[in-house]
Structure 1
Amino acid sequence: MNTATQTTRLYHSPLSPFCRKVRLVLAEKRIEVELVEERYWEGPPDLRRRNPAGKLPVLRHRGNMLAESQAIIEYLDEAVPAPALMPATPLERHEVRRLCAWFDDKFNSEVTAPILTERVWKKITRQGYPDSRVVKDGLRAVKDHIDYLSSLLETRRWLAGNSLTLADFTAAAHFSCLDYISDVDWDRSEVLRDWYATIKSRPAFRSILADQVPGIHPAPHYAELDWG
């Protein structure tokens, strides 16, 4: 089989920010993709074959199996150049990568992972009731992140500068997971709310807004483009 004609396939979990960032970039690049949901907590036997680290997402593109969300989205930006989602200069690209790491490391460990673990994954995997103290810590932490991001957006059109980049899709992936369960205080920052409303209105967001996680209903405003 010609590897160039193989179906692009993403092995993913719907409410994972790392999977969502890849989905958003695929959609922004207008790459048709088949989504295959993996119930990773059940230890699907093929997951480690696709990615020895046993982590999602895994993307099959042009016959190659690709792992690690940041590596995947940078690969996609190089493999499918238009529209470009990395800026032209080394310093600008550094800022994009810095912010991607901010969300995938700091924001995830302080906010996304603890809140989703307690409010979503414990229910789905039947591991008990949420720990309200962990949730409250996450909700406290998100306020500091909102304030920091708002300070960036006071002087920039997008998070990393004046053009839409991988940093915006990485951030939006995390915020969209939290917004699904209504855990973002959008009233805290009008500028961040406007940023999210703008990126949420892009065609690339359509499949994300259509997500339905069994047993976990999205917030009433989740799929609305003009909410509040």
Structure 2
Amino acid sequence: MITLLHHAFCPHSRYIRLALGEYGLECELMEERVWERDEEFLALNPAGTTPVMMLDGEPPIPGADVIAEYLDETHGLERTSRRLMPATATERAEVRRLVSWFNDKFYNEVSGPLVTERVYKRFMSAEQGGGAPSTDVMRAARANLRYHLAYIGWLARTRNFLAGDRLTYADLAAAAHLSAIDYLGDVPWNEDEAAKAWYVRIKSRPSFRPLLNEWLAGLPAPAHYIDLDF
């Protein structure tokens, strides 16, 4: 049995949930509010970040990149054409480059600040850094999003999927981060039709449905969020 310690709006958690869905693996979800610095959670992952994957009788597996590699080694190899990593080392390097781009650069510049300001801070005490969202932080993140969206659009125009001919971890990472901020209505889809068309393809996959069906009380998503045709 797989247990995933996550937060519904953590982009890295969404990435792993998509990967699990693509591999047809069910999991039990347990919400973790990392800003509370729970001692039991920190014992599982001293970095204090989500997600953390738990398997019966095995040590905890913390971090989205580590979990993704574990899933590839334990479930991807046997799936051949449905594997989320390509067959050659060169192709895998490109997937890893793009996964790092979204899980690190995009997160630091866009999805991390927006989710923190608009979602996490609603539940954080003043001592934990909660309070009113910073308009300066959100303005900077939205400005950064525009060039990231243009880059996704360029990839989508020049390739079938972001890293090559077929679906890989790169597509799931990008879509996971975009989905978290799309719920907030912060993605200017009208600026790049290629990026928008690619995202429609990814969010139409069965693995995406659980994400689209989750709602945050007091913060409704825009109508297009669950609309597979925008």
Shorter-chain TM-score bucket reads over 0.9
Residue matched to 2:47:
53
Pick aligned residue for 1:72 from 52, 67, 75: 67
Task: Answer yes or no: is the 8 Å Cα contact 2:3–2:29 preserved in 1.
Answer: yes
Pick aligned residue for 2:22 from 2, 18, 28: 28
Residue matched to 1:184:
187
Deviation at 1:62, TM superposition (A): 4.9
Residue matched to 1:16:
10
The TM-score with structure 2 as length reference comes to 0.92
- Deviation sequence 1:48-83 (CA, Å, 0-9, x none): 122122221110135322111011012101201223
Task: State whether structure 2 residue 143 is matched by structure 1 residue 140.
Answer: yes
Which residue identity is paired with 1:132?
Answer: T
Deviation at 1:147, TM superposition (A): 1.1
3-state SS in 2 of match to 1:130: coil
Among all aligned residue pairs of Structure 1 and Structure 2, give the percentage whose two residues are the same amino acid: 43
Aligned equivalents of 2:147, 2:89: Cα separation in 1: 28
3-state SS in 1 of match to 2:43: helix
Deviation at 1:220, TM superposition (A): 2.0
Which residue identity is paired with 1:61?
Answer: L
Unpaired segments of 5 or more residues in structure 2? none
Deviation at 1:140, TM superposition (A): 0.8
3-state SS in 2 of match to 1:11: strand
Aligned equivalents of 2:96, 2:55: Cα separation in 1: 23
Bigger shift: 199-208 or 37-46? Answer: 37-46
Residue matched to 1:95:
94
Deviation at 1:128, TM superposition (A): 1.5
Which residue identity is paired with 1:154?
Answer: R
Bigger shift: 8-17 or 216-225? Answer: 216-225
Residue matched to 2:205:
202
Aligned equivalents of 1:111, 1:14: Cα separation in 2: 17
Bigger shift: 189-198 or 117-126? Answer: 117-126
- Deviation sequence 1:93-119 (CA, Å, 0-9, x none): 011000011011111111111112222
Which residue identity is paired with 2:73?
Answer: E
3-state SS in 2 of match to 1:101: helix
Aligned equivalents of 2:33, 2:48: Cα separation in 1: 12
Aligned equivalents of 1:204, 1:171: Cα separation in 2: 14
Bigger shift: 34-43 or 102-111? Answer: 34-43
Aligned equivalents of 1:46, 1:218: Cα separation in 2: 32
Task: Answer yes or no: is the 8 Å Cα contact 1:15–1:213 preserved in 2.
Answer: no
Aligned equivalents of 2:66, 2:218: Cα separation in 1: 32
Task: Answer yes or no: is the 8 Å Cα contact 1:175–1:184 preserved in 2.
Answer: yes
The TM-score with structure 1 as length reference comes to 0.93
Residue matched to 1:4:
none
Deviation at 1:157, TM superposition (A): 0.6
Task: Answer yes or no: is the 8 Å Cα contact 1:57–1:69 preserved in 2.
Answer: yes
Q: Note the aligned Cα RMSD (angstroms).
A: 1.3
Task: State whether structure 2 residue 110 is matched by structure 1 residue 116.
Answer: no
Deviation at 1:131, TM superposition (A): 1.4
Bigger shift: 127-136 or 186-195? Answer: 127-136
